[in-house]
Structures are given as structure tokens and as C-alpha cells.
């Protein structure tokens, strides 16, 4: 497996914990802005389906397996499920503004889905969410020496772009689709900034306001949990499991003035290779956060849907790259994860 950055501490953790934050934003209803769902309407169910897959290996209330058009490329939650299960890594969900309730146990942030970012305000209670999440982060057992956090929120790369711009980063965000709708995203972000009276970099000293006006409800939860956790466990490692969305959250944590030692970002090779984004430059040069990535080797797969990852569909999500990375630290080869995902897909195909 390729890795890119040896500045990350790659020793085996004793007590890892994987958190996944689940949210919706009405931004995903904009036609063609997100590929994290077969249609714009179905993006509402993506985080619910993802949580049910990670928890049980099957969908329960979600109408269909979350997938990316046009080739129905299957959700990265299958990868997360396989990696966590094989490596016996405990996980926990946080509901931070879902449209529907998944059939899984979760911590409830008692908040609502985010508005379309073209509205003046998108997450009115961003500050309250951050503060509640901070308390949750502080309460996570002190024996956790490796906290990994992933997310599922369709439309999340667009909100990430908006927040990065508000904080003064010209970050080119990735996409769940091989056809990243960069022009559409740029237009939507501009409209959102205009509606909120925000200009490039104008909120660099007020990242919570950037989330309130242009972000999504997943962001203050991840930022709050991470900073709260670090207050009581500063020596423990924290990995933001994701691509450019996690870079946006790192920028929030940094601009809030918190200590970012021991925080890194881990993603998949598919995000790093995305020419429409600039993940590597954004993380290592612009934000100064250590990053690493894994190669899920889905090009080797017998399953045509998984092979589409190599073409740039899906790429990452639900902390899939991080989950493979963590499973590998726990001694599970990447091949085993892929085979387990293929096995799960065979079960779906036979239903
Ligand atoms: C999460 N679930 C997914 C998925 N993601 N199911 C299928 N494909 C994905 N890529 P965008 O901004 O294009 O919607 O991409 C962000 C979403 O894609 C996030 O939910 C992320 O977890 C991933």
C-alpha cells in the first residue's frame, strides 16, 4: 500500500474509536450538485442508509442502497463496515441534523438539517451545536488513544468549499461524482456568499459564523468533538477521516485558535488523485495539517461497481479511507477489506 506522509504516527493504537457524524443539508437538493445518492431526492436518505450499513451490513429504513449515478457505484459505507468489522474497532454515530431517523443507536445533537447555502443563514444554531459537541468530545472515555471521525452528508463538498472560501482558502473541493460539477458549485457558493454578505476571507476570524451562514450541521459537531476530546486527551491521536470536507473542518478548528497538534487527515488515493480538487496542496501547504492516504485497490475488484472508484465515482465518504487505514494499523490487510466488501455486494445482488 502506498502512503505519502511519514509525519503521522503510524503505531498501532490500543483503544481506537470510530465516530461517524450524520447530517443533511438542503444544498444537496440542487440538481446535479451531489452524486451521493441516485437522485437529488434520494440524497436525503444517504446518511441514514450509510449508518444502517455500517451498523448491520444492510439497509433497514433507507429505501435503497446509497449509490452514485450513472453507474450505481455503491456507497463507501460498505468499506467502512468491512474495515471496522474485520479489525473489531468500536464505532458510534452522532445524528447532527438528519431528515430521517436511522435504525441505529446514536447520540442526538437535537438539531435540524442545514438550509440551502444560498439562504442568508444555513445553520442557525452552529454555536450551540459546537458547544454541545465539545462537551461530548470531553466525555469520550479517556482510555481512547486514537479517535477517528468520518461523516456522511450529501452536498458536503459544496458547503466545504463555501466555508474554505469564507476563511480565505481557495480550496478546490472534491466530489462524489467523477464529473465534479465545479462551475455549479462555484456559482452556488457565490450566491450563498452574496446572500450572507460574506466575501473571500472575510470570516477568517469567525469560523463559527462561516458555518452558520455557509456551512452544514456536520461541521460544528466534528469541530466540537475534536476540540473537546483534545482538551481531556491532548496526547491522543485524532484523525479526520475524509477528503476536502475534513480539510474545511480542520481550517475551522485552526481559525478558532485551538491547538491542532496530533490532528491529521486520512483519505483515499481517489481523492488525492482528483485533478479537479487540490487536496494535497490544501492540506500540506495551505493548512499545514499532516495527511496520509490509502489505496483501496478497487481496480482489482471483480465487482464493476467497485472498479468505478478508480474512475472517480464516490472516491471516499463515511470515513472509508480512514477506516481502511485504521484496520491496517490493527493488522488487517487491504485485500481482506476489499473481499469483505465484495461479499456484502454479492449478498445485495442476490436479494
Ligand atoms: C457518503 N455517502 C455516500 C457518499 N458519501 N454514498 C455514495 N457516494 C458518496 N460519495 P458530494 O458533495 O458530492 O455530495 O460528496 C460528499 C458526500 O460523499 C459525503 O456524504 C461523503 O461522505 C460521501
HSE, side-chain direction, 13 A CA sphere, residue 42: 18
* Residues flanking ligand 1, CB < 6 Å: 34-36, 46, 50, 66, 68, 75-76, 151-158, 175-176, 314, 317-318
pLDDT band at 282 (very low <50, low <70, confident <90, very high): very high
CA 137 – CA 133 distance, rounded (Å): 6
Closest by CA position to 29, among listed 117, 112, 98, 100: 117
Based on DSSP, count helices (H) and strands (E) in the chain, helices before strands. Answer: 13, 9
Q: Is the pLDDT of residue 4 over 90?
A: no
Instruction: Please state whether the predicted TM-score (pTM) of the whole model is above 0.95.
Output: yes
What is the spatial distance between Cα 33 and Cα 328, in angstroms, rounded to a whole number?
33
Name the residue of 23, 34, 154, 171 whose CB sits within 8 Å of the most ligand 1 atoms, as the mutation to test its pocket: 154
Ligand 1 center from residue 85 Cα (angstroms)? 21
- Residue 1's pLDDT band (cuts 50, 70, 90): very low
Q: In this predicted structure, what is the pLDDT of residue 126? A: 98
pLDDT band at 252 (very low <50, low <70, confident <90, very high): very high
Grid cell locating 239: 484523525
Q: Is the pLDDT of residue 71 over 80?
A: yes
| CA 336 / ligand 1 centre spacing (Å) | 23
pLDDT tops 60 at residue 3: no
C-alpha to C-alpha distances, 17 to 124, 142, 308, nearest whole angstrom = 30, 11, 30
Sheet containing strand 91-95, edge to edge, reads 106-108, 91-95, 16-22, 146-152, 237-241, 263-268, 291-294
Is the predicted pLDDT of residue 171 greater than 90, yes or no?
Answer: no
Tell me the pLDDT tens digit for each residue of 314-351: 999 999 999 999 999 999 999 999 999 999 999 998 88
pLDDT tens digits along 232-243: 888 899 999 999
Given a cut of 90, whether residue 9 has pLDDT beyond it is: no
Helix or strand (DSSP H, E) at 150:
strand 146-152
Q: How far apart are CA 150 and CA 19, in angstroms?
A: 6
- Mutational pocket test of ligand 1: of 29, 46, 244, the residue with most ligand atoms within 8 Å of the beta carbon: 46
In contact, 127 and 208? CB cutoff 8 Å: yes
Is the model's pLDDT at 104 over the cut of 70?
Answer: yes
Amino acid at each position: 500500500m502506498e502512503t505519502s506522509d511519514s509525519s503521522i504516527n503510524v503505531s498501532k493504537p490500543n483503544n481506537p474509536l470510530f465516530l461517524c457524524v450524520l447530517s443533511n443539508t438542503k444544498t444537496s437538493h440542487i440538481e446535479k450538485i451531489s452524486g451521493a445518492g441516485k437522485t437529488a431526492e434520494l440524497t436525503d436518505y444517504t446518511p441514514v442508509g450509510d449508518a444502517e450499513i455500517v451498523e448491520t451490513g444492510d439497509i433497514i429504513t433507507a429505501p435503497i442502497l446509497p449509490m452514485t449515478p450513472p453507474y450505481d457505484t455503491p456507497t463507501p459505507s460498505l468499506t467502512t463496515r468491512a474495515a471496522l468489522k474485520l479489525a473489531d474497532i468500536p464505532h458510534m454515530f452522532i445524528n447532527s441534523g438528519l431528515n430521517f431517523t436511522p435504525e441505529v443507536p446514536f447520540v442526538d445533537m437535537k438539531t435540524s438539517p442545514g438550509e440551502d447555502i444560498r439562504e442568508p443563514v444555513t445553520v442557525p444554531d452552529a454555536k450551540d451545536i459546537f458547544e454541545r459537541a465539545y462537551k461530548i468530545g470531553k466525555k469520550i472515555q479517556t482510555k481512547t488513544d486514537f479517535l477517528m471521525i468520518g461523516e456522511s452528508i450529501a452536498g458536503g463538498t459544496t458547503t466545504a468549499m463555501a466555508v474554505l472560501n469564507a476563511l480565505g482558502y481557495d480550496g478546490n473541493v472534491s466530489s462524489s461524482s467523477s464529473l465534479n460539477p465545479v462551475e455549479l458549485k462555484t456559482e452556488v457558493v457565490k450566491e450563498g456568499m452574496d446572500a450572507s454578505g460574506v466575501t473571500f476571507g472575510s470570516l477568517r476570524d469567525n469560523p463559527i459564523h462561516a458555518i452558520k451562514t455557509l456551512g452544514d450541521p456536520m461541521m460544528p459537531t466534528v469541530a466540537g468533538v475534536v476540540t473537546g476530546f483534545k482538551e481531556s486527551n491532548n496526547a491522543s491521536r485524532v484523525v479526520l477521516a475524509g477528503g476536502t470536507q475534513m480539510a474545511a473542518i480542520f481550517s475551522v478548528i485552526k481559525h478558532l485558535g485551538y491547538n491542532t497538534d496530533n490532528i491529521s487527515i486520512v483519505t483515499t488515493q481517489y481523492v488525492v488523485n482528483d485533478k479537479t480538487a487540490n487536496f494535497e496542496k490544501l492540506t500540506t501547504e495551505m493548512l499545514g495539517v499532516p495527511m496520509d492516504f490509502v489505496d483501496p485497490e478497487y481496480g482489482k475488484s471483480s465487482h464493476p461497481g467497485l472498479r468505478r472508484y478508480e474512475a472517480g465515482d464516490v472516491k471516499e465518504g463515511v470515513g472509508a479511507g480512514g477506516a481502511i487505514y485504521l484496520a491496517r494499523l490493527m493488522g488487517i490487510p487491504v485485500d481482506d477489506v476489499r473481499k469483505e466488501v465484495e461479499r456484502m455486494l454479492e449478498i445485495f445482488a442476490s436479494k
